[in-house]
């Protein structure tokens, strides 16, 4: 019961049940009418939840004829129109205005109108004339769309990323979900938690770079959380050397950026003749923000051109990455997995472990894929010989276990493909731990595509469906 309903009951003793069916029906009907006048239409809907077969007469859930009387009374009040005296505002005490020529209450706890309605309805019900109560005037029930409108793919989703505005992860979020609301997070762990706690709808996080390799921190977090990979996006990395306006390169004594960005520009910094110290920072755009906010005229940052625009820095050198084909792969994470399909290229990511010695288990895993002609795009091992790792199972229960190695595998097949299903069924027989991290559409954007492709859709148009069924083993 809402606070408004409780207040009405406390201030109107006539609305409380007095042990008789007629008084209880009158109190129930009047309470519903008062709630309706005070902006509580949902209370009107509750009349349909009264149990006509209630074995305890004298309560609010009385006999079927009294329930129909309440419905008929409310329906007649609603049909009376805005000029009806029943629609006049209540006095501060909750009673009808004194000027009402035909008051509902006779001062003795009775109600002439309700009694007449009940008597009439009982007569009609006895004759079998009353079967259905018109509910056209009742408010429309809420739907799931009214409660929580679920945005479609890329439509104002809240997307968490690690870093500050201007980071490459923000650009990847914009490419994966155009027009999304990007939510910066200071750590990768925070981005995972933002999705789990419903603060964000998706998370876009880097997992590997074509030069620097895998970002192992995020692979470990995938095991510690129950988020699912629902897509991937590849972003070309275009590094710039940024400094405060008016600063010249020969004045620099320090360069700061993310460790991978520093490693990706090492040769170019040497060719530029810069005798500077390298200092690691949490992310590239964060380094640019730090230089701008602290007025460091002897320090440069390696970040994107967008970071220079956001923080008022000048570009001393453009495209300073050692390899022009520098690409970072990001994955999109969600609370629920997507439904795998076979009408477009799909990729599946798994992780498994085994407790047995030797390489026979790994050989059997690779054979399960090779036998079914499934291409592997990534295989990597992570040692966990001397420290346990917390694994979360399908019941969201964490368990600390010791494994010699964890193996991460990406292969080009959808979980809707019978070949992939049979391969995982075979792998599960000789592994002690197996988990599917996600089955999702592949990003088919060419690596040489410009970064302006952030405004384009992540997934390409699906190819025409094949007439042949996927082979099975």
- Dig out the tokens for 246 from the structure: 């008016």
Q: Could you give the residue numbers annotated as active site?
A: 328, 330
Q: Give the DSSP letter string of 227-266.
A: -EEEEEEEEE---EEEE-TT--GGG--EEEE-HHHHHHTH
The three-state secondary structure class of 50 is coil
Q: Which two tokens stand for residue 459?
A: 């997934």
- How do the pLDDT tens digits run along the chain, 473 residues long? 545 444 444 444 444 444 444 444 555 555 455 545 555 444 444 434 444 444 444 444 445 556 566 655 555 555 555 444 444 444 444 455 544 444 555 454 455 555 555 555 555 555 544 444 454 555 555 554 544 444 555 457 899 999 999 999 999 999 999 989 999 998 999 999 999 999 999 999 999 988 888 888 899 899 889 999 999 999 999 999 999 999 999 889 999 999 889 989 999 998 988 889 999 998 899 999 999 999 999 999 999 999 999 999 999 999 999 888 889 999 999 999 999 999 899 999 999 987 765 557 888 899 999 999 999 999 988 876 555 566 666 666 666 665 567 899 999 999 999 999 999 999 998 888 899 999 999 988 765 544 433 333 333 434 443 333 444 44
pLDDT confidence of residue 325: 83
What pLDDT does residue 168 have? 94
Q: What share of the chain is helix, strand, coil (3-state, %, to 5)?
A: 35, 20, 45
Q: Do residues 421 and 362 make contact, with C-beta atoms less than 8 angstroms apart?
A: no
Whether 311 and 288 have beta carbons less than 8 Å apart is answered as: yes
In angstroms, how far apart are the furthest CA atoms of the chain?
103
Please report the pLDDT score of residue 356 as a whole number: 64
First to last CA, the chain: 60
Q: What is the pTM of this model?
A: 0.60
CB of 133 within 8 A of CB of 71? yes
Estimate to the nearest angstrom the gap between the alpha carbon of 53 and the chain centroid.
43
Cα separation, 170 vs 200, in Å, equals: 14
- Alpha helices by DSSP H, 357-469: 360-371, 418-429
Judge whether 185 and 191 are in contact, CB under 8 Å: yes
Listed in order, strand segments (DSSP E) in 121-257 are: 158-162, 181-185, 202-209, 213-214, 228-236, 240-243, 254-257
- Token pair 């910094």 is found at 269
């Amino acid at each position: 019961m809402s606070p408004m309903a409780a207040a009405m009951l406390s201030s109107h003793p006539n609305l409380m049940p007095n042990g008789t069916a007629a008084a209880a029906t009158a109190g129930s009907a009047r309470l519903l009418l008062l709630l309706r006048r005070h902006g509580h239409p949902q209370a009107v809907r509750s009349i349909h939840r009264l149990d006509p077969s209630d074995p305890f007469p004298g309560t609010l859930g009385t006999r079927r004829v009294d329930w129909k009387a309440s419905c008929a009374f409310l329906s007649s009040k609603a049909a009376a129109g805005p000029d009806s005296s029943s629609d006049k505002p209540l006095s501060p005490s909750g009673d009808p205005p004194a000027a009402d020529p035909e008051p509902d209450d006779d001062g003795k706890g009775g109600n002439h109108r309700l009694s007449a309605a009940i008597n009439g309805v009982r007569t009609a019900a006895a004759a079998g004339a009353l079967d259905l109560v018109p509910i056209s005037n009742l408010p429309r029930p809420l739907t799931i769309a009214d409660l929580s409108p679920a945005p479609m793919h890329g439509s104002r989703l809240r997307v968490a990323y690690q870093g500050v505005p201007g980071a490459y992860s923000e650009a990847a979020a914009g490419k994966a979900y155009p027009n999304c609301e990007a939510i910066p997070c200071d750590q990768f762990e925070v981005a995972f938690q933002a999705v789990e706690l419903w603060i964000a709808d998706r998370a876009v996080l880097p997992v590997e770079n074509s030069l620097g390799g895998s970002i192992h921190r995020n692979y470990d977090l995938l095991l510690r959380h129950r988020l699912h990979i629902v897509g991937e996006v590849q972003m070309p990395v275009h590094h710039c050397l940024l400094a405060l306006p008016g600063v010249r390169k020969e004045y620099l004594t320090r360069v700061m950026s993310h460790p991978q960005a520093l490693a990706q520009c090492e040769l170019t910094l040497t060719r530029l003749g810069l005798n500077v110290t390298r200092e690691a920072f949490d992310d590239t755009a964060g380094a640019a923000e730090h230089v701008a906010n602290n007025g460091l005229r002897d320090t440069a940052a390696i970040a994107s051109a967008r970071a220079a625009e956001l923080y008022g820095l000048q570009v001393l050198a453009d495209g300073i990455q050692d390899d022009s084909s520098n690409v970072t792969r990001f994955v999109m994470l969600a609370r629920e997995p997507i439904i795998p399909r076979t009408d477009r290229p799909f990729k599946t990511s798994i992780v498994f472990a085994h407790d047995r010695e030797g390489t026979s288990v790994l050989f059997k895993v690779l054979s399960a894929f090779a036998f079914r002609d499934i291409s592997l795009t990534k295989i990597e091992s992570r040692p966990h010989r001397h420290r346990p790792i917390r694994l979360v199972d399908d019941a969201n229960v964490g368990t600390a276990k010791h494994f010699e190695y964890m193996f991460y595998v990406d292969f080009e097949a959808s979980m809707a493909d019978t070949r992939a299903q049979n391969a995982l069924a075979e792998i599960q027989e000789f592994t002690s731990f197996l988990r599917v991290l996600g089955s999702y559409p592949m990003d088919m954007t060419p690596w040489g595509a410009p970064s302006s492709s952030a405004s384009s859709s992540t997934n390409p148009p699906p190819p025409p469906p094949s007439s042949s069924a996927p082979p099975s083993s």
